[in-house]
Amino acid sequence: MSSLSSNSLLRDLEDQLPSNYEKEREDLPLKEIPGGYGLPFFGAIKDRWDFYYNQGQDGFFQARMTQYNSTVFRANGPPGPFMAKNPKVIVLLDAASFPILFDMTKVEKKNVFDGTYMPSTGFTGGYRVLSFLDPSEPKHKALKGYFLSVLSSKHDNFIPLLRKSLTELFHTLNSELSSKKEVQFNPISDTYSFEYVFNLFCGKTPKDTILGSKANTTVDTWLVPQVAPLITIGVSKFLQLAEDLLIHTFPIPPFLVKSKYDKIYQAFSTSATKVLDRAKEFALDKEEACHNLIFLACFNTYGGMKVLFPNLFKWIGRAGPSLHAQLAHEIRNIVKQEGGVTFAAIEKMVLTKSVVYEVLRIEPPVPFQYGHAKEDLVIQSHDASFKVKKGEMMFGYQPFATKDPKVFENPKKFVACRFMGKGEENLKYVFWSNGRESEDPTVDNKQCPGKDLVVLMARVLLVEFFLKYDTFTCVDEPFLLGTMVTFTSLTKVSKFHQLKSME
């Protein structure tokens, strides 16, 4: 272990926990929600330009939070006209107000997966898939139950299949870096991430299907038009107007990627037969189940890995060799003690778990969450209460809510041991999965059915890496909805410390 041990890190963290972060909020003053929407149409256009170009994503929220001296305010949510019929939202930026979005008795989640707009169902075979359904809709219970059952049936495959893909991933990364000064991590990670996801649900590699060796590229081509309204490519000022017109003003029609989606559907429908056969147990049509499975595997799971895996290396890379040494020490010792990489071994890696949770807190892979008020209700920030009328949309920007200074000490700082010891109590303020990390997905809520699998994948990624390498260096830069990570060095485990192979 490095000179700063896990125990001393833990003591320091416990000393820093705010004493009043569970402040009573029963008698907060009732206030009008500040902010506004500006002139019809033009107000929404102005907010869109502030969000994408003039201020940037964080700047947009920070400027209004400062202006109104409130973490709850009114604004127009992106992308606005003509993509969204109604861009008006109530923004929630703190850990007190944000969880209202998880209360299915108070908010409706119908067609709000992407916010104020909904991509055409032409992208998903004509079906409104699970992510766009509210729990009150009959199909929601059947589809959510189906997915939870499928994931449970795959439990024994999670670790072995992922380790196989990660071994190939790191071998490719190391091989390319040996002949170059730097190597982009994302393209390599995407290739093997999709291979893992497809293998998990279909029992074969995508190379053995119509998708071929460029499977993830095909999936990316289908993914991008659906999320394009929420991104900016980072073009020069001279091209901002063109970009805004092309991807923020009118939806990209699904027919442009229909041939790609047809390939994806054919690959899943012919390869995931065992998984699709389970659909009848939930009174689901096999075709509808397949379109939903594609969305779960390709959009929710693979799409999440595209963001999360680079983010892990971004923050651990920034933390430097001291943290690398601590992770390597914990991982190698526990794997040796447990006789391999098992669920039990991974569960004992408290620092590794904390690091994963901290990355999910500081840079959640899905930053936006939405819900319409089912009735007139009152929401509370730390300082005030606000009335919300039935039908109004609430828009939670998660990166601010999970950096709430009234919950987390030094919230903008990456603290590897933040969720160790007493700090683990604050997992209820980690919201990346459309629910509290301390809660579980059920058929009656909208929490990600693969929540535990995502956390496990992130932990296994770190385990596999630090069984093979001592340290690394990388650089990072913003890229679409996430981060582009470029490795500049990899230091293999020295032979003196190398563990015997434990399969």
Residues with Cβ within 8 Å of residue 376, at least 6 apart in sequence: 387, 388, 389, 390
Number of alpha carbons in the 13 Å side-chain half-sphere of residue 316: 31
Amino acid 147: pLDDT:
97
* Residue 15 confidence (pLDDT) above 70: no
* Cα–Cα dist 251/210, whole Å: 28
- Closest listed residue to residue 157, CA positions, set 42, 237, 275, 262: 275
> In whole angstroms, what separates CA 367 from the centre of its chain?
7
Contact 223, 298 (CB under 8 A): yes
> In whole angstroms, what separates CA 317 from the centre of its chain?
19
- How many Cβ atoms are within 10 Å of 79's Cβ, its own excluded? 27
* Cα–Cα dist 206/271, whole Å: 9
For β-strands 385-388 and 368-373, DSSP reports them as unpaired
pLDDT tens-digit series, residues 135-187: 999 999 999 999 999 999 999 999 999 999 999 999 999 999 999 999 999 99
pLDDT tens-digit series, residues 331-367: 999 999 999 999 999 999 999 999 999 999 999 999 9
Amino acid 481: pLDDT:
81
Read off the pLDDT of each residue in 3-19 and give the average, rounded to a whole number: 45
Between 283 and 6, residue with greater pLDDT: 283
Amino acid 495: pLDDT:
62
For β-strands 482-492 and 469-479, DSSP reports them as antiparallel
- Closest listed residue to residue 412, CA positions, set 420, 424, 404: 404
Pick the CATH number of 30-500 from 1.10.10.10, 1.10.3720.10, 3.30.365.10, 1.10.630.10: 1.10.630.10
Residue ranges of domains in the chain: 30-500
First to last CA, the chain: 25
The neighbouring-strand residues paired with 482 are 479
Tell the burial category of 39 from Cβ atoms under 10 Å away from its Cβ (0-12, 13-18, 19+). Answer: exposed
Read off the pLDDT of each residue in 111-133 and give the average, rounded to a whole number: 97
* Residue 371 confidence (pLDDT) above 70: yes
* Cα–Cα dist 294/67, whole Å: 43
State the residue for tokens 């699709």. Answer: 276
For residue 169, CA distances in Å to 172, 280, 286 come to: 5, 36, 33
* Residue 26 confidence (pLDDT) above 70: no
Percent of the chain with pLDDT over 70: 93
pLDDT band at 480 (very low <50, low <70, confident <90, very high): confident
Amino acid 3: pLDDT:
39
State the residue for tokens 């209004």. Answer: 64
H-helix or E-strand containing 458? helix 451-468
Mean pLDDT of the chain: 93
Please report the DSSP string for 193-254 in residue order. Answer: HHHHHHHHHHSS-GGGSTTGGGHHHHHHHHHHHHHGGG------GGGHHHHIIIIIISPPPG
Amino acid 27: pLDDT:
80
Amino acid 257: pLDDT:
97
Amino acid 25: pLDDT:
57
Residues with Cβ within 8 Å of residue 290, at least 6 apart in sequence: 125, 265, 268, 269, 272, 276
* Cα–Cα dist 46/99, whole Å: 29
Read off the pLDDT of each residue in 467-485 and give the average, rounded to a whole number: 94
* Residue 12 confidence (pLDDT) above 50: no
pTM: 0.92
Read off the pLDDT of each residue in 284-312 and give the average, rounded to a whole number: 97
* Residue 16 confidence (pLDDT) above 60: no
For β-strands 88-92 and 183-184, DSSP reports them as unpaired
* Residue 14 confidence (pLDDT) above 80: no
* Cα–Cα dist 413/317, whole Å: 14
Read off the pLDDT of each residue in 282-294 and give the average, rounded to a whole number: 97
What sign does the dihedral 372-303-492-331 (CA atoms) show?
positive
Read off the pLDDT of each residue in 275-301 and give the average, rounded to a whole number: 97
Amino acid 433: pLDDT:
95
> In whole angstroms, what separates CA 236 from the centre of its chain?
28
Read off the pLDDT of each residue in 14-42 and give the average, rounded to a whole number: 73
pLDDT tens-digit series, residues 60-92: 999 999 999 999 999 999 999 999 999 999 999
Contact 331, 463 (CB under 8 A): yes
pLDDT band at 500 (very low <50, low <70, confident <90, very high): very low
* Residue 214 confidence (pLDDT) above 60: yes
Amino acid 34: pLDDT:
98
Give the least confident one: 1-5, 310-314, 333-337: 1-5
- How many Cβ atoms are within 10 Å of 270's Cβ, its own excluded? 13
Can you state the angle between helices 350-362 and 303-319, rounded to 10 degrees?
110
* Cα–Cα dist 429/437, whole Å: 7
pLDDT tens-digit series, residues 403-442: 999 999 999 999 999 999 999 999 999 999 999 999 999 9
Amino acid 288: pLDDT:
97
* Residue 455 confidence (pLDDT) above 70: yes
Residue type at 493 in one-letter notation: V
Can you state the angle between helices 451-468 and 350-362, rounded to 10 degrees?
120
pLDDT tens-digit series, residues 375-384: 999 999 999 9
pLDDT tens-digit series, residues 124-148: 999 999 999 999 999 999 999 999 9
* Cα–Cα dist 427/387, whole Å: 28
